[in-house]
Amino acid sequence: MTEEKEMWTIEELVGMTETVQTKETTWQGKNLSVQWCELIESEEPKLNLPSDDMPEEEQTEYYKKVANERVLCMIDKGNTKQPDTANITRENWGSLPTTLRWNIASLILGTGSENFTSG
């Protein structure tokens, strides 16, 4: 027997841009709930690409800023849609421990696991 794969519909994928996703992450032995919403192209942060002759270290720093801004835009969108459950905001993001911010960014951007679920 072959297991049937569940397939996304276009309507479901489009709906993800309006659905607030919530996940919990564990940091320092305690849980934290994080909410965000997927972006559409027009909501993506608009930043210019660095020049090819920029030193690699500066390029790396630039791409960190781009990823950070994208995460903040996704959090902002989720918080706008569900303000009552917002706990991480643009205002407090910079005050959070760096390792926690990287953990949250990885969760939201799906760099640690599959990110096609809401819940």
pLDDT, tens digit, for every residue of 85-100? 999 999 999 999 999 9
- Identify the DSSP state of 97: -
The residue segments making up the domain with residue 82 are 55-111
Number of structural domains found in the chain: 1
Token code pair at residue 30: 């305690």
Residue 85 lies in a domain: yes
Q: How far apart are CA 111 and CA 64, in angstroms?
A: 14
Structural domain includes residue 80: yes
HSE toward the beta carbon, residue 84, CA cutoff 13 A: 0
Single out the residue of 36, 44, 40 nearest to residue 119, CA to CA: 36
Percent of the chain scored above 90 by pLDDT?
69
Residue whose entry in the numeric block shows the structure tokens 């005050």 = 95
